[in-house]
Amino acid sequence: MAGTALFVYGTLMDERLLATLTGRRFARRPARLEGFARLVPPGGYAYVVPQPGAHVEGILLEDVDPASLCRLDAYEEAGRLYERRPAEVIVDGARRRCQVYVGLPAVTRPRAPAPGGTRGPASGG
């Protein structure tokens, strides 16, 4: 069974970070998420929110296994800062179903990074 396609638009676009977090490398393709805007509040993390007429350029990671998704959910503080939701992106002119980390209210407020944490401002999915 194939893994999950995951659209990323922030620090998770960094292949080295992904390898550090998951121990894997994933096939990747440029993609466009329509109907969302990418925002970066001062002192906060990058996030996307639904916004008609807007779009976000990013990368579609392919065949992400369940264990890697769990590690990425932990990194993104899913349930507190972000929620991983179903979405569709445009890849090579075709629509593809995927998942994307969407900002929750906690991510929209400025905050200092946790001591010893690996995340910095403007990280996001």
- Identify whether 111 is part of a domain: no
Predicted TM-score of the model (pTM): 0.84
DSSP 8-state symbol, 66: H
Q: What is the pLDDT of residues 11-65, one digit of tens each?
A: 899 999 999 999 999 999 999 999 999 998 887 778 999 999 999 999 999 999 9
Q: Locate 72 and state its tokens.
A: 């990425």
Q: What is the pLDDT of residues 66-105, one digit of tens each?
A: 999 999 999 999 999 999 999 999 999 999 999 999 998 7
Number of domains composing the chain: 1
Structural domain range at position 92: 4-106
- Identify whether 119 is part of a domain: no
- Average pLDDT of the chain? 87
- Identify whether 91 is part of a domain: yes
- Identify whether 122 is part of a domain: no
